[in-house]
Amino acid sequence: MRVVVTGGAGFIGANLCRELIMRPAINEVVVLDNLSTGYKENLSGVDVEFVNGSMLDRPTLREVISGADTVIHLAARPSVPRSIADPIASHDANATGTLYVLEECRRAGASIVVASSSSVYGSVPELPRREDLPTRPQSPYAASKLAGESYALAYGNSFGLDALVFRFFNVYGPLQSSGHAYAAVIPAFIHAALSGEPLHIHGDGTQTRDFTYVGSVVKVLADAATRRVAATTPVNLAFGSRISLLDIKDRLEALLDRPLDAHFAPSRQGDVKDSQAASRALLELFPDCEPVPFEDGLELTLKWYQEHLNLDGEAAQGTNDRHTGGVHV
C-alpha cells in the first residue's frame, strides 16, 4: 500500500509517518512538503521518500499522488493570527491547495483523509461541539479550513471519492514547534517554563480547549488510511476533554515541582472562548481507539522538550522557530 502524506515534515505529519511505517499493510510512505512550515529533520531516521515541493505546484502534486492508494492531507498554513495578518495566503494553502489535492486523488483513484479544524465551529455556543452544529468561522483560517472540508465532502458526493474529513481540535506532543510568535499554547508554555520566562496567557486563562495527544491522533489517521474509511459528514478527532490554560499551568507546576510566573495579555482576535468535541461519530468509526490521558500526554511532551531544548531555552535541531504544523483553534 502506498500512502502519501502532504505536510509530512510538520509536527503531526512526522509523528504520523513514524506510525505509518510500523503498519504491515503499508509498504511505501511518500512525504510532500515545501518546508515553509515544516522541518526535514523531523523525519530523521524515518524510512520515507521525501519530496520537497508545494501542493500548489500541480505537476509535482500529480507526480507524487500518481499511484497512491491513500493520501493523508495535512499540509496547511496554520494559525488564526497568521490568517488575520495574511488571509490570502491562508486561503491559497488551505482552500485552493486542498482542491488541487482532491483533484489529483480523483485522477489517481486514491482515497483521502483531510485535516480540518474545530475552528470552523466558531462562535457556536453549544458544548460539546457536535458535527451537525452550524459552522460560524471567526477568522480567515477557520473559513479556509471550512472551504477545504466542504470541497472534500463535495468530491465524495459528486465523484464517489472515498473521503474522510477530520476536525482536529488542539493537538499537542513531541516535535511541536515552540519558540515563535505563532506557537500553540502547550509548547509555548513548556518553552517558557524551561527557559525561566513567564507563561504568556491571552485573556484570563479560564478559556478551555479539547487537548488531544498527537499519539492518539496519528493512530486514528493510520487506521483510517489502511482501512480507507470514508464518511459523508465531518468527524471530530478529539475525545471530549475540556482543560483550561490555568489548568495546564497548574499541571506543569506539579510536574516541574516549582511555581511558574504568568503574564496576562488581552484576548486575541478570532479566538473562541471554549472548545470541546463530541466524540460519538469518531468512536462509531474507530471503536478500538483509546486516547492517551491528558496528564500522561503532557508528561511525555514535557520530557521530550527537556531532552530537545538547550539549557538557554533555544530549540534544538528539528524544533526550530518556524511553525511545524501545530493546530490552532
C-alpha cell at 123: 462562535
Please name which of 298, 207, 211 lies closest in space to residue 246, comparing C-alpha atoms: 207
Q: What is the C-alpha to C-alpha distance for residues 66 and 160, in angstroms, rounded to an integer?
A: 18
| String of DSSP letters for 107-129 | HHT-EEEEEEEGGGGTT---SSB
Residues of the chain with pLDDT below 50 are 311-329
Tell me what pLDDT residue 65 has: 98
pLDDT at site 315: 46
Question: Could you read off the pLDDT of 287-326 as tens digits, one per residue?
Answer: 999 999 999 999 999 999 999 876 444 444 444 333 333 3
Per-residue pLDDT, 313:
40
Residue of 208, 206, 230, 226 whose CA lies nearest to 218:
226
Residue with cell 500512502: 3
> What residues contact residue 231 under an 8 Å CB cut-off, 6+ apart?
163, 164, 165, 281, 285
CB 15 within 8 A of CB 175: yes
What per-residue confidence (pLDDT) applies to 304?
96
Say what angle helices 97-108 and 140-159 make with each other, to 10 degrees. 20
Enumerate domains of the chain plus CATH numbers: 2-170+211-237 (3.40.50.720)
Predicted local distance difference test score (pLDDT) of residue 159: 98
The pTM for the full model equals 0.91
pLDDT tens digits, 159-172:
999 999 999 999 99
Per-residue model confidence (pLDDT) at position 37: 85
Q: Which residue has the cell 520515507?
A: 48
- Per-residue pLDDT, 268: 81
The Cα 251–Cα 257 span in angstroms is 9
DSSP three-state, residue 23: coil
* 127 Cβ contact partners less than 8 Å away, ≥ 6 residues apart: 242, 274, 275, 276
